[in-house]
Amino acid sequence: MQKNVSLFILVFLGILGTLVGCKKAETPVTTDKEATLQQAVTPYVQNTVIATYSAMADAALVLLNQAEQILDKVEKSEDYTQLMKDADASWRLMRKHWEQSEAFLYGPAAAHTIDPHIDSWPLDFNAMNALLHNEEQMKQIEQEGGAYVGDKLGYALKGFHAAEYLLFESIEKDGRAVGTGKPHATNLTHAEAVYLLGIIEDLAQQAILLEYCWAGEVSATKMKILEDGEVDTYEDKYGWQMINAGKPGSTYLTYQEVAEEIVAGCVDIAGEVADLKMGNPYISSTPDERDYIESPYSCTSTEDFADNIRSIQHSYCGALAGDHSVSNYVYRQNPDLDAKVHKAIEDAIAAIEAIDDFENTAKGNPQVKAAIEKVSALEQVLDDEVLPLLSK
């Protein structure tokens, strides 16, 4: 009896194991590579890309409202201490979503030059100073707002970092503006407040444009901002193109091509985080090292880097539990490789989050070196093993 009970328990566990162990097998068993990869595309487009851009645009709308209020307070000479803190929080949230999108900088972000438009640095202080003292240009910004900023100003005078400079405190150190991560003092000149609002209007338009280009639609509120700003919407429905690979109107001939694009985007940002975002400040031997820090005024560097890796995680593994993803296909072809990628992602995030005070200690910091190695390892496994597997 004892033996029979044990046997039945084993039988039960075996059946249970078959059911539970099949978590990855929710994908219909098929050897058809295209069918398997196709299943990954809709969740990727909807839950990873569009969801991220939509959240970023939502944060931009809040920030836009706060920038309008700041200008109003400046004009009325009223206190806006809390408003500046709130705007900083909105900027950080918007920035978080942007960093979580950097594994998909291909497509509209590149083709419509939205990436350089909103995320160029260093800032051109020389040109900014000239702009703020140019009455004619400032009058045009006041009248046309984001449209003027978007159409007439160079990349180094707009976007996240121009807004960051006006929203966060910086102190003079060795002749340079060095950020503290604290809110900017409530001493903005009228010209600066006008300029800030113009930058954020333009930033919001570009964020909404990203969502629109992928989704082909946005909320009425967002659409009105695009229309009011006379923003060219291109109508390229990039998400549709990915989901409908091989159909007329799609840039992509196969789902393999889509999967390669997804992973290539991951490789690209991993390389940038390792070699440049962390690598340059780590090895910098010049007085310009501070210029290599991407978010020098908000001091959100390690958060940015970790979110970049999360962008890879959401792209490769899926953003929501149960999402089909490229990981499913890799797992089916080579489970060890898939596990290696998952571990490399987790290791990279952990190593980045272990860095203390990146902005002030990056040069020669062993914590930074360790993080660079982990992110490089992630880049390598994606580039040297996953991409070749997909292209076979």
Per-residue contact flags (x/-) with other proteins for residues 114 to 153, judged by CB under 8 A: --xx--xxxxxxxx--x---------------------x-
User: Under the criterion CB under 8 A, does residue 15 sit at the interface with other proteins?
Assistant: yes
Which one of residues 14, 246, 322, 364 is an interface residue with other proteins (CB under 8 A)? 14
Amino acid letter, residue 321: A
| Residue 209, Cβ density class (10 Å: 0-12 exposed, 13-18 middle, ≥19 buried) | buried
d(CA 131, CA 139): 11
- Give the footprint of other proteins on residues 204-243 (CB under 8 A): 236
Could you tell me the smallest distance in angstroms from the CB atom of residue 337 to other proteins?
Answer: 11
Choose between 71 and 267: whose C-beta lies nearer to other proteins. 267
Which one of residues 81, 139, 143, 154 is an interface residue with other proteins (CB under 8 A)? 154
CA distances (Å), origin 392, targets 33, 210, 239, 381, 389: 10, 32, 25, 16, 5
Which one of residues 68, 72, 144, 275 is an interface residue with other proteins (CB under 8 A)? 275
Which one of residues 112, 158, 161, 184 is an interface residue with other proteins (CB under 8 A)? 112
37 close to 255: Cβ distance less than 8 angstroms: yes
User: Under the criterion CB under 8 A, does residue 358 sit at the interface with other proteins?
Assistant: no
Choose between 110 and 320: whose C-beta lies nearer to other proteins. 110
d(CA 168, CA 91): 10
Three-state DSSP class for residue 18: helix
User: Under the criterion CB under 8 A, does residue 260 sit at the interface with other proteins?
Assistant: yes
Could you tell me the smallest distance in angstroms from the CB atom of residue 10 to other proteins?
Answer: 5
User: Cα–chain-centroid distance for residue 245?
Assistant: 24
168 close to 180: Cβ distance less than 8 angstroms: yes
d(CA 123, CA 129): 11
Number of residues that bind other proteins (CB under 8 A): 75
- Give the footprint of other proteins on residues 160-189 (CB under 8 A): 176
195 close to 166: Cβ distance less than 8 angstroms: yes
Could you tell me the smallest distance in angstroms from the CB atom of residue 123 to other proteins?
Answer: 7
Choose between 66 and 250: whose C-beta lies nearer to other proteins. 250
Which one of residues 62, 68, 93, 106 is an interface residue with other proteins (CB under 8 A)? 106
DSSP 279-332: HHHHH--SGGGGGG-SSTTTT-HHHHHHHHHHHHHHHHH-SSTT---HHHHHHH
User: Under the criterion CB under 8 A, does residue 251 sit at the interface with other proteins?
Assistant: yes
Which pairs with CB-CB distance under 8 Å and at least 24 residues apart come from 23-31? 24/328, 24/331, 24/332, 26/322, 26/324, 27/324, 27/328, 27/332
Which one of residues 81, 227, 230, 335 is an interface residue with other proteins (CB under 8 A)? 335
Residue 169 main-chain phi, psi, to 5 deg:
-70, 140
User: Under the criterion CB under 8 A, does residue 322 sit at the interface with other proteins?
Assistant: no
User: Under the criterion CB under 8 A, does residue 323 sit at the interface with other proteins?
Assistant: no
- Give the footprint of other proteins on residues 31-50 (CB under 8 A): 31, 33
Which one of residues 81, 82, 113, 189 is an interface residue with other proteins (CB under 8 A)? 113
Could you tell me the smallest distance in angstroms from the CB atom of residue 216 to other proteins?
Answer: 16
Choose between 135 and 187: whose C-beta lies nearer to other proteins. 135
